[in-house]
Structure 1
């Protein structure tokens, strides 16, 4: 993505490798917390449907657009703050907001109330990605960036895995608590699960303030007053790359969210699993195969980068995405439970590549002064499109096409498999313009 002279590049101060990795570690914790809060809802689909008397389609809207809409709207202002302010403070404020509103989801007594609470969670979580991505990119050189970003990105698999595993236990735990609790009153089991999962994020916000150091020197933040300053030249010089990349990552995001949202329902409805069984198995799979896949992708990207391959992150994502398509479709198409579980391992491993290396690819091709805003735009577009296409697509097929709750696996196979294939093909078209953008950025005058 082209060099943009609209604002002077922020000055980067030298920070120790230990401090840089400490920031990655605490941002990883924040990412885990965010995905626990975000993913818990997928374990509670059936009890919420029953209590609030809504359809799979409405639940798809709740999982997808309710979160993604405000997450998207808040993204660019949060990216602008990341380019101008102390990013640790931005992240800490966001964690406090989304944790409080996750807990507040537990007091929702109707579908519209829960919808509004999930919108607020989306606003809070919009602060994390732009700040974390740009901060990590400012802290590591090009050869170390893929691995550092991959380590941070394991928070997606760890957070989703912990949401499934410990979220399932939280659902089980609240079933043994009294119907009425002091200061809380009478809550349904799924409502209390939101409260228990949301509150632990508040001390993490304080930890971010204490640990994360800003790598941009004092006074070195981007100074352009306009929120969109510098973005127009970037777009004019990189239209093909931007369009192909955004469409590809949107498709891959949709595939991932579809699986995370509907796999528990598939195992519960078709194999007779309890939410606790589905949560433990899916959580363990994400924390093992998902984390291993992210780290393997990061290591592969770093190895290729050290060998001088300019488009290393995209090459790794393409290979993983094209391999992922048949595996993710097969998971819910096989009728035998043991084979479905077995196929989940390679599907989960391969699905982590774009999560691990997508942010590294974007940051490596973005001028320093625009890193927060570009990260925000990418996250805004891909999250909104992916969270709508994936969860809502499966819910629509189940409700309107098949008319059978047990057909959720077929809908998931169609949506997740097709989106993964589309993502890999679109990234192939992005390889040449991505290499050109990297070369222009590296040879541009400071």
Structure 2
């Protein structure tokens, strides 16, 4: 996020609106399958624990660092590649990689093997965010960008929702398949679920390769060949904005991942729900309230942007975060499953705001030639910090502080509520430097 010379900031889109929206819809499909692959694991926590003999803390490591660490390490090279290569090809290759390794997770016979497979999934998924964010930013003007990015970002809620709603049902269905099937005969139900969920992604990879076109004019590439070229001036000019924004989105990401990872376990352990019941309820909640929240945030951001509000995306995220903090804590503290579900609806609606508008805010304040790498750095830092602080934080409190699996609800309320509040407070500090950065870019481009 920085100022830029006129030649590198916010050009007019080079493709037709129809092609731009087709690109968004295809990238949305890729985002959906990425979150199905990623989120399925949270529904399989208890059967994996039983078969592999591991603790909640170890499962927190599997859900968080096993994915996030290598997702983060691969992020910057993938962002550099997005700034220099055909982004459709980058995305297609990444989808093929993570889909194949999701299927390979089904053949893991030990905790270390599953850990390694999840690392590979993280590497594959690192290709999507930087390429998708910069592709969309190059396809829409600044007034339409918040809405376009929010449509793409509904893939988070749709993917996680589909994983919850149908993941447990898929596990139940695969349990009735014959044991003598070729290649997969004899696999546990949770292992077969990974195979069934992973393989369709290969078809999506082919679709991206054949249909998505890069709107970037030929010859317009990153400044220089070095991965970090151009990032030094960005840091020096926008240090306060970068630090406060990254802290805010990391905290909000941690709150979101904590809930996505541990809410099923809370309903199963404390309210006696089956995995199918918990998955269906949470999935529908995400697909309805989560998608509605993302689209509403995008519409609000575009509405404010058309009226000249420079920090429109951050204002919407800030309001949502401060309202979300008490609601998300209350969800797992109430003693009634019915009341918990009622509270989840507005909490889920509000939690989608930063997912929808965070990427739009970053891309609007970033030079075109650096968009892929900046998106990668933001995703790297916020995903790594969030996936460690959220899932691992809850698992650590449950295992070490409370020593009781049924205390997962209390641990989740503490972690998710505190992180959401912290994210809102950090956004307050980011507003002024963000306005200054956008103002300088507009001045530079006339």
TM-score, with length taken from structure 1: 0.98
Return 181-190 or 423-432, whichever deviates more: 181-190
TM-score, normalised with respect to structure 2: 0.98
DSSP 3-state at the match of 2:407 = helix
Q: How does 1:26-425 map to 2 (within 5 A)?
A: 26-425=26-425
Contact (CA 8 Å) 1:103, 1:194: kept in 2 or not?
yes
Which ranges in structure 2 are unaligned for 5 or more consecutive residues? none
Contact 1:258 1:394 (8 Å CA) reproduced:
yes
Instruction: Determine the C-alpha separation between the residues in 2 that align with 1:318 and 1:355.
Output: 12
C-alpha separation in 2, matches of 1:414 and 1:13: 44
> Secondary structure in 2 aligned to 1:186?
coil
Q: Residue 134 of structure 1 contacts residue 371 of structure 1 at CA under 8 Å; is this kept in 2? A: yes
For 1:443 and 1:381, the matched residues in 2 are separated by 30
Shift of residue 7 of structure 1? 9.5
Contact 1:75-1:376 within 8 A present in 2 as well: yes
Aligned partner of 1:427 in structure 2 is: 427
Contact 1:5 1:230 in 2 (8 A): no
Aligned-partner SS, 1:2: coil
CA–CA distance in structure 2, aligned partners of residues 7 and 46 of structure 1: 54
1:13–1:290: structure 2 CA closer, same or farther, 3 Å change rule?
closer
Alpha-carbon shift at residue 177 of structure 1 (Å): 1.4
Describe the superposition over 1:249-275 as per-residue Cα deviations: whole angstroms up to 9, x where unpaired.
000000000000000000000111111
| Offset at residue 10 of structure 1 (A) | 10
Q: What SS does the corresponding residue of 1:219 show, helix, strand or coil?
A: coil
Structure 1 unpaired stretches of 5+: none
Q: CA distance change for structure 1 residues 150 and 406 in 2, over 3 Å: closer, same or farther?
A: same
CA offset digits 1:363-398 (Å, max 9, x no partner):
000011100000000000000000000000000000
Please tell me whether the aligned partners of residues 251 and 386 of structure 1 are also in contact (alpha carbons under 8 angstroms): yes
- Whether the aligned pair in 1 keeps the contact of 2:103 and 2:194 (CA below 8 Å) is yes
Q: 1:45 to 1:354 in 2, by over 3 A?
A: same
